[in-house]
Structures are given as structure tokens and as C-alpha cells.
């Protein structure tokens, strides 16, 4: 299965590419965001700032959103999930607006929230996973429409949405590519789910 990964000039793409390929996917990395418009499955990788990440996507914002609404599968990780929302307190640029809601600062004594934490979810993408501990590294969270939330995480007494789905599009606040066997299994489930669609 071919996955088109957006290289918007921020973050390290090596880990997620390697994890997807380990699960049998063929990953093509593109620097021209126009190439996402022909993709059969899209990966929005994590790590980076909101405005900088949206910079290259902005000219194709509406067209990308149309593709996602038409059923094209996608996975956004961390900042890659956050940019699929309408806006962020971290920046001034509009997001893709596929998910309803905004990205807000995480209210906690220790920010960023870094390290291992649990994800409470009954979504099929978590099937067969022995441990629900995943790796996090973020200072903002997605204040999503409850109908799009498929998983939550508790940090310092506050529970925030950490796993999202709308149509065939998933977003994770955690980093499956940095989450050992649990993350690999989740990505394997994602690939299998997408293969059934395309």
C-alpha cells in the first residue's frame, strides 16, 4: 500500500517512515503539497510549530480538506493532527479545518507533557495491543468535537482528547512511531484498515 507523507519542512520524518515500512507500506515523501491532492492515503507527521507547519499547506488547504471529506484516508501525528483542526493558540494561521475545534495550551504544572502515558480507547485501531502506553511530547491539545474523539489521556489530573477520527481520517496526539511495539501494532491496524478502503 502506498502512503504519501507530507514533508512540510519541520520535524524528523525518518522514524515514522521506518515504522510504516516495517509494516509493509510503501512511503513516498513529498515536498510539494500539491502532490497530496492525488494521494490515496496521506500521512501528516508530527513535531513542529503550527504556523510553520501550515505554511506550505496553506495554498491547498481547501482542496486537501475536500479530499479528506471525500473519504481519502489519512493519519496525522501530534502537530500533524493539530493542523487538521480549525485554528491553534500557538499560531495565527488557520488550520485545515477538517476537524471542528481549536488547539489550546495544555493546562498543567509541567509543560511540555513528555514521556509515556496511557491512551484510553476502544477503537479498532487499538485491537491486539497489549499495552496502552504511548509516547507523548506536546504543550498543546486539541479541544475537539466529542463526536470525533475516540481516545483520551489523563495528565496531572486533567483528561484531554488524544485520539481522533472522522470519516477515514485519524489523528493522534501521541507518537506511535516512538511508542515501541504498541505503536507499531497501531500503525499496522491503520494500514490494514486503509487497505480495505482502497
Q: Which residues are catalytic?
A: 78, 175, 177
For cell 511508542, name the residue.
179
User: Which grid cell sits at 139?
Assistant: 504543550
**Please, are residues 123 and 164 in contact by the beta-carbon 8 Å criterion?**
no
Q: What is the dihedral of CA 149, 170, 87, 6, to 10 degrees?
A: 170
Whole-number Å distance between alpha carbons of 23 and 179:
14
Whole-number Å distance between alpha carbons of 67 and 151:
24
Whole-number Å distance between alpha carbons of 162 and 143:
10
Amino acid at each position: 500500500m502506498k502512503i504519501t507523507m507530507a514533508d512540510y519542512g519541520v520535524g524528523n520524518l525518518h522514524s515514522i517512515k521506518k515504522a510504516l515500512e516495517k509494516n509493509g507500506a510503501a512511503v513516498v515523501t513529498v515536498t510539494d503539497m500539491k502532490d497530496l491532492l492525488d494521494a490515496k492515503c496521506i500521512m501528516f507527521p508530527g513535531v513542529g510549530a503550527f504556523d510553520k507547519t501550515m505554511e506550505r499547506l496553506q495554498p491547498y488547504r481547501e482542496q486537501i480538506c475536500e479530499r479528506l471529506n471525500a473519504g481519502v484516508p489519512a493519519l496525522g501525528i501530534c502537530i500533524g493532527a493539530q493542523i487538521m483542526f480549525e485554528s491553534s493558540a500557538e499560531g495565527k494561521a488557520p488550520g485545515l479545518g477538517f476537524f471542528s475545534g481549536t488547539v489550546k495550551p495544555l493546562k498543567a504544572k509541567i509543560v511540555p507533557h513528555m514521556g509515556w502515558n496511557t491512551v484510553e480507547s476502544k477503537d479498532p485501531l487499538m485491537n491486539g495491543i497489549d499495552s496502552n502506553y504511548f509516547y507523548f511530547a506536546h504543550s498543546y491539545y486539541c479541544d475537539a468535537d466529542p463526536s470525533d474523539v475516540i481516545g483520551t489521556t489523563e495528565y496531572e489530573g486533567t483528561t484531554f482528547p488524544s485520539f481522533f477520527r472522522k470519516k477515514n481520517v485519524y489523528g493522534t496526539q501521541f507518537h506511535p512511531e516512538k511508542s515501541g511495539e504498541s505503536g507499531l501494532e497501531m500503525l499496522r491496524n491503520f494500514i490494514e484498515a486503509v487497505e480495505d478502503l482502497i
